[in-house]
Structure 1
Amino acid sequence: MSLLRSTLLATALVLPLTAPAVWAETPDGILVVAQNIDDIVAIDPAQAYEFTSGELVTNIYDRLVQYDAEDPTVMAAGLATEWAIDADAKTITFTLRDGVSFHSGNPVTTADVVGSLARVIKLNLTPAFILTQLGWTPENVEQMVTADDTTVTIKYDGEFSPAFVMNVLASRPASIVDMKTVMENEVDGDMGNAWLNENSAGTGPFSLQSYRPAELVRLNANPDYFKGAPKVKSVIVQHVAEAATQQLLLESGDVDMAKNLTPDQIAGMSGDALKVETFPQAAVHFLSFNQKTESLTPPAIWEASRYLVDYEGMTSTIIAGQMEVHQAFWPKGFPGSYDETPFSYDPEKAKAILAEAGIETPITVTLDVINAAPFTDMAQSLQASFADAGINFEILPGTGAQVITKYRDRTHQAMLLYWGPDFMDPHSNAKAFAYNSDNSDGNYAATTTWRNAWAVPDELNELTKSALTEADPEKRLAMYQDLQQKVQETSPIIIMFQASYQVAMDSGVTGYVNGATSDFVFYRLVEKN
């Protein structure tokens, strides 16, 4: 075996006994994962906002209510066993689960819940905005979140459906931490933030045994987890940036799972020793037209464009396994999704729509795109198919930062990009795709509507606000489905695909769960056979 392989393994396994130079297979009871983890900035759930960080927080911490490994599309009890909702009083009272301890051995108390939620607001780091939506501030949070010995009462200020509030409380920053341990490690008033970015203080199925940035993460199983001990004793996530190296390690049996292989590598895999599992993801991919560009403002342009995307052609070739056709803003697989796909590639119909509206062609439009696969390939496909109806794209590739900066400045013409929700409630995407009550340049909003300068019709703005406040869960979901259908029919944002994520693994690995976002990656049920 090469020196590279031996070096990676010596770094990755970090076992109590001296590791041999070469492993024929990974050790029993230890899941070894090859993954690019250099995106990690923070592990403290009050700060963690990166993809890999989300995976770690989910496996280390619990929330009062949460989506879990058995079915990541259904909200389940977490550290709370039951709750009572008073929509009129805008309060939710949670009963805390008995007998749960943190990894330190400290018992979980209602004071830990109050302290954990208040800590997020007081630190006011990146993900705090998810909780501040509830009207919480550093000055009032300890009046908005109160407790007695067994219950926690949460108040919110705003016209929100209780279902929306519950999804906020199931999000990453609502994770409950061991406040006694965290505050014992406070430095210069940081409420233990620096310490918690290198250590863990949770109740989850795994604890953080070691973390070395851009090198490895090791999680150890919590044998006393209240939903049952994990099936494996440890999970080692080894930082392997190169997809080719991940493939080499997987094929030689030195890792159990490779999480960043390319579609070509996936397609080239063969034999019974390995398998590939595909997981739908929450990100939706879209083509949008900036309404500051006069030639792109006629609704006929938007309508025709929906028939100029070669949906099936792309999903069967350049993005096979990476995306599936989806034409609404909320991802399939979650309550409230609208899964109808009425549009297909039909250039003759597109030309008829343009002609009927009196649109003169050809039209030349610049198209900004991230200079990486598969986005550049997708842009070239759009360039070819739109040309059939006289809409000519000039592709402008750039780095992710360049493209997104231009998008935020509203200086693009057309944009090929993607969007994922900040938390799993339909409002997270409805606000992005169906709401823009102030389209002025000075009213910056982190939404696709504002960034494309689309002054959303009052009807859609009102429907978005009404769905947010609707107390009846089923009626609320129906309202979001109606909203998606309306946006699908007439909007300068053409939603085309929903992302999929492919993970290659040893055929003996079972039970791995990868939900629609990085917050829904679960190792608790994994077994190695």
Structure 2
Amino acid sequence: MARSNANISRRDVMKYGGAAGVGTVIAGCIGGESPDDDAEGEFVYLTTQQPSSIDPARSLDELEGIYNSNVYDPLLRYDDQFPPELTAGVAEDWDLDDDGRTYTFELQDDLEFHNGDPVTADDVAFSIERVMSIREGPSWMWEGLLTEDSATVVDETTVEVELEETFAPFTATMPWLFIVNEDQVLEHEDGGDLGGDWLEDNSAGSGPFELAEYQRGESITLERNDDWWGEFPDGGFAEVTIDIGLEVSTKMGMMRNHDGHLTDRWLAYPNYMELDEADGVSLSETETYNTYYIYMNMLTEPLDDVHVRRAISYAFDYETAMSILGTEDSLNGPLPDAMEHATTDGVHQYEHDLDAAEAELEQSDYDIEDIEVTYVSQPDISANQDIGLMMEDEFSQIGITVNLEDAPWTRIVEMASDPETSPQMFPLWGLIEYDDPDAFLWSMWHSSSVGTYLNGSNYEDDEIDALLQEGRRTIDTDERADIYAEIQQIIAEDAPTLFVANDVTRFGVNSDVSGFADNGIMGYTHQFHNYSQE
């Protein structure tokens, strides 16, 4: 398919300034066709990220979720309000049996995959079997809950799913169960890979868009599926181009010159302020579940001492950090305030208090002059770097030395995969895949997550493990609230991380685009079928 001038190649990057950083671009030095002059109705999304996989059973990161939720229909979808609610996907209705473990999903009639095959209960059962067989991507949500044999086809439009044990937020995770065409996938199976290699270059979904072209390291092109069961707005886009791996200055230049319609969330605060002043660009600013933490690796000295961690928690200048991030919304514990069951009751609050920090150090087993920590952050995200400099200055006032190191995010993830090599301290924006406190607390604080970047503190506590398990198994809302309150209290006392802020999520949006909404769920903030051009 011919591609419009709105999509760029790596050869064109230098036209937009090349270097990363705040990325000021000189007006008038580049040209481009305005999106509203695009005869094909192409929407252009600009992102720093690159997918590690586009197979829905192997992919989980934000960009991968954006791709999958637009190309595939999940069993259930999230709508675009905040907090989000579940709406129809492949299934239009569901019921939970009295045993608390058996779900019956009624599918929509007459749904079709992109190739014209009908979507049936067999495809749903196969999609569950496939993801639990591959055991990558979103399968972590259902570990110990689903097996390859958990789904039973009742009839063509009814499927029964029996869990190994009660899991209260099960339906909240169903937007990550993307339904693939069983016949099409198995037709391209190679060596028992369940079609995995083929799906890295092709799609087998029924969603509002279909994969047209994937140029690794450059772009993903999607074509609208006009036979999709849902609705497109008047003025909707016929094609979507996702330009990937872009530098900051490239994104800034493309937005200023109307060669892009939407940025990702990974620009620095000053970049967004620049875009807000640019002609034809507006700013989306929403407080959702965008938490900002700084982990402390509890398996390394001196962070194995709770008094050192508490001292750091008191020495940290939260107001300055929030100013750097561009938010006034503090994070008062492990959960953001807007999340169900979040509480401050009995949850210890750390504030910038150097006297309290020194008092904690006096209780430590370490000599103050020997306390030294290393903070690792991405050089391409200036907020992380600036917060590191602030810590270096503040902590020195109580005798703690902070060493600053740079590493790309891929390297930080690799380091965190082994508790022995995991950074002593590193920052993380806590994006979530489903709307439930379990999405934050299990992945970040359950011992099964030790050795992953999600549990960057390598936190391991038998009491917390038991409470998290109880929270999953409890259906009653009030009982769950009590369980999660106790969890938040214990974690705050242990001070395994700096609870810095509930950051404002920002996106630069072309002013001619309508329909964009941030619902706080990773991968579901970008529903291209809702967008139109005025």
TM range (shorter): 0.7 to 0.9
Write the mapping of 1:101-500 to structure 2, written as runs, cut at 5 A.
101-137=112-148, 141=149, 144-158=151-165, 160-161=166-167, 163-171=168-176, 174-230=177-233, 231-239=236-244, 241-259=246-264, 261-269=267-275, 270-280=277-287, 282=289, 284-293=291-300, 295-317=302-324, 319-320=325-326, 325-338=330-343, 342-355=349-362, 361-372=368-379, 373-407=382-416, 408-411=418-421, 414-418=424-428, 420=430, 423-424=433-434, 425-436=436-447, 445-446=451-452, 452=457, 454-456=459-461, 458-500=462-504
Return the letter of the residue paired with 2:483. Answer: M
Contact 1:369/1:375, CA 8 A, preserved across alignment: no
Distance of aligned partners of 1:469 and 1:297 in 2 relative to their CA distance in 1, 3 Å threshold:
same
**524, 528, 531: which one pairs with 1:526?**
531
Alpha carbons 1:30, 1:236 under 8 Å: kept = no
User: In the alignment, residue 223 of structure 2 is paired with which amino acid?
Assistant: N
Q: Matches of 1:125 and 1:291 in 2, distance apart?
A: 27
Distance 1:283 1:149 in 2: 40
Cα 1:404–1:277, aligned 2, differ >3 Å: closer, same or farther?
same
Q: In the alignment, is residue 44 of structure 1 matched against residue 55 of structure 2?
A: yes
Tell whether the 8 Å contact from 2:268 to 2:383 is kept in structure 1 after alignment. Answer: no
- 1:221–1:406 Cα change, 3 Å: closer
The answer as to whether partners of 1:9 and 1:254 remain within 8 angstroms in 2 is: no
Q: 1:195 to 1:358 in 2, by over 3 A?
A: closer
Tell me what 2:106 maps to: 95
| Residue 189 of structure 1: how far off its partner (Å) | 3.9
Residue identity in the other structure for 1:48 = S
Residue 326 of structure 1 and its aligned partner are, at CA, apart by 1.6
Aligned residues of 1:274 and 1:507 also touching (Cα < 8 A)? yes
Q: Which whole-Å CA distance do the structure 2 matches of 1:296 and 1:310 have between them?
A: 19
Q: CA 1:473–1:223 in 2, change beyond 3 Å: closer, same or farther?
A: farther
Distance 1:515 1:225 in 2: 22
SS in 2 for 1:201: coil
- In the aligned structure 1, how far is the partner of 2:172 from the partner of 2:395? 39
Partner of 1:440: none
SS of aligned partner of 1:276 = strand
Task: Report which stretch shifted further, 110-119 or 360-369.
Answer: 360-369
Letter in 2 for 1:344: E
Distance 1:103 1:477, change over 3 A: farther
Q: How much has 1:301 moved relative to structure 2?
A: 3.0
Deviations 1:461-504 (A, max 9, x none): 33222112112245324532442233123333222234444221
Q: Quick check: 2:450–2:459 contact (8 Å CA) kept in 1? A: no
Amino acid at match of 2:392: Q
CA RMSD across the alignment: 3.5
TM-score computed with the length of structure 2 as normaliser: 0.82
Say which SS state the counterpart of residue 243 (structure 2) adopts: strand
Is residue 2:46 matched to residue 1:35?
yes
Residue 8 of structure 1: SS of its match in structure 2?
A: coil
1:508 lines up with 2:509 in the alignment? no
Paired residue type of 1:375: N
Q: Secondary structure at the match of 1:314?
A: helix
2:17 pairs with 1:8: no
Partner in structure 2 of residue 15 of structure 1: none
* TM-superposed deviation, 1:155: 0.8
Query: What 5-or-longer segments of structure 1 have no aligned partner?
Result: 13-20, 438-442
Q: Assess if the C-alpha contact under 8 Å between 2:185 and 2:194 holds in 1.
A: yes
Percent of residue pairs identical: 22
Q: For residues 207 and 271 of structure 1, do their structure 2 counterparts lie closer, same or farther at Cα, with a shift above 3 Å needed?
A: same
Q: Tell me the distance in 1 between the aligned counterparts of 2:255 and 2:278.
A: 13
User: How far apart in 2 are the matches of 1:275 and 1:435?
Assistant: 40
**Equivalent pair of 1:200/1:207 in contact (CA under 8 Å):** yes
SS at 1:214's partner residue? Answer: coil
**Aligned-partner SS, 1:286:** strand
> Does 350-359 or 30-39 show the bigger shift?
350-359
Task: Tell whether the 8 Å contact from 1:432 to 1:446 is kept in structure 2 after alignment.
Answer: no
Task: Structure 2: give runs of 5+ residues left out of the alignment.
Answer: 13-30
Paired residue type of 2:499 = I
1:62 aligned to which of 66, 73, 85: 73
Aligned with 2:229: secondary structure? coil
Letter in 2 for 1:365: E
**2:530 aligned counterpart, secondary structure:** coil
Aligned CA distance change for structure 1 residues 386 and 165 (closer, same or farther; 3 Å): same
| 1:307 Cα deviation after fit | 2.3
How far did 1:147 drift? Answer: 2.8
TM-score normalised by structure 1 residue count: 0.82
Distance in 2 of aligned mates of 1:25 and 1:148: 46
CA distance in 1, matches of 2:223, 2:484: 41
Mapped to 2, the partners of 1:50 and 1:316 lie a distance apart of: 27
